[in-house]
Amino acid sequence: MLGIGRSAYGFAILGFGILSLGYVDFVHQLQPIPSFVPGYRLLALLTGAILTASGVAIITNARVYAVALVLAAMFTVSIVFLQIPSAFIDPSLLRSPWWIRTFELLALIGGGVILAGHAHHPARPIWVRNGRVAFGLALPVFGVLHLVYPESVAGLVPPWYPWPIFWAYFTGLAQCAGGLAIAVGVWPRLAATLAGVMYGSWALTLHIPRSLCRAFISCEFMDAPVGLQGSRAGLTSLFIAFGMSGSAWIVAGSLTKTEQEGSRDK
């Protein structure tokens, strides 16, 4: 499970890097760096190169300890120096986008910290535990947003999914329950495994079709122009879904037999 999660996580990081290089920009919304920063395009290309190389390294299981630490640090910097200040600069973001992007970063940090803790010799259990808690605490935030804005969530569901409002509420409750289970250690492996399946299914059945419709073909269920220029947000969301799925399976694979048995005794 840990290997599958690492591969999915690495694929997401690779995707971020390719998008950064392709659009000559930072990761959409996850790194809201002001355009007036000196050397903006050069820094964006450098970030894209780092992310691309990091994704390849994680997928191939090469220097995972150092690479995962770099990624965790990069995402932490994004929260502290970009996301948090943006909430004060533009409070309207607190309606939804700020919470989504900030806690997506926290979930990705959790996955990276766990990878680093496992790759270090000897292993660092405290890093692994803290990474699991970080990932677990992020999920209820997404769940609450699903419950508060069910119509907006339902609007993202393609027509081949029946009962969109039902899925908005169901996935909201699932994320709340799953995240808390992971954070407090009650059936954490089961919760993390199912969370990975959920996010992975979103990547395959929601984000890939939506991205294809935006980038290459016209789809009746989407009122959007066809072209890569307007596809950046959708493609970023696709790789975030893979990153969330990978982080969830990293959490599941990081649990020792003793920890799993302990969770069943609670």
Q: What is the pLDDT of residues 38-69, one digit of tens each?
A: 999 999 999 999 999 999 999 999 999 999 99
Looking at every residue in the chain, the average pLDDT score rounds to 90
Q: Structure tokens of 52?
A: 């691309």
- Contacts with 194 (C-beta within 8 Å, 6 or more apart), sequence order: 174, 178
pLDDT per residue as tens digits for the range 72-94: 999 999 999 999 998 888 888 77
* Run of H or E residues at 217: none
- pLDDT of 247: 98
pTM of the model: 0.91
Distances, alpha carbon 140 to alpha carbons 48, 217, 247, in Å: 30, 35, 15
Could you tell me the residue ranges of all domains in the chain? Answer: 75-265
- pLDDT of 213: 76
End-to-end CA distance of the chain: 24
pLDDT per residue as tens digits for the range 102-118: 999 999 999 999 999 99
Mean pLDDT within 200-225: 75
Mean pLDDT within 244-260: 83
Closest among 177, 163, 185 to 255, alpha carbons compared:
185
* Run of H or E residues at 77: helix 64-78
Q: Structure tokens of 19?
A: 């998008």
